Amino acid sequence: MSEQPITKEETKELAHELLWENLVNSGRTGLLNLSPVHVAYMTLLYSMDLCMDIAPDEEEAKRMIENVLEDVLKKEKD
């Protein structure tokens, strides 16, 4: 019996889950030896640098960062 290949959507979902899992694991590893503030700073620095690198311009990068901040603040209210 042959297996069905996974769909493009399933591949994206798997990549999303693996990325999140790796981020969580990296954070936990960092927290074993570094201060929480340092881990948070490095994580934010990396994320914001990534936005600056992939956005077509600075304004779009700022929008991306603001959208994440709004999502986090909204999540905190829930």
Q: What are the boundaries of each domain within the chain? A: 8-77
Mean local confidence (pLDDT), 23-45: 97
Cα dihedral across residues 19, 29, 71, 54: positive or negative: negative
Q: Residue 41 half-sphere exposure, CB side, CA atoms within 13 Å?
A: 5
Mean local confidence (pLDDT), 28-34: 97
Residues 6 or more apart whose CB falls under 8 angstroms from that of 52 comprise 58, 61
Using the predicted structure, report yes or no on whether residue 14 has a pLDDT greater than 80.
yes
Nearest to 27 by CA among 19, 62, 67: 19
pLDDT-based confidence at residue 1 (cuts at 50, 70, 90): low
Mean local confidence (pLDDT), 4-10: 93
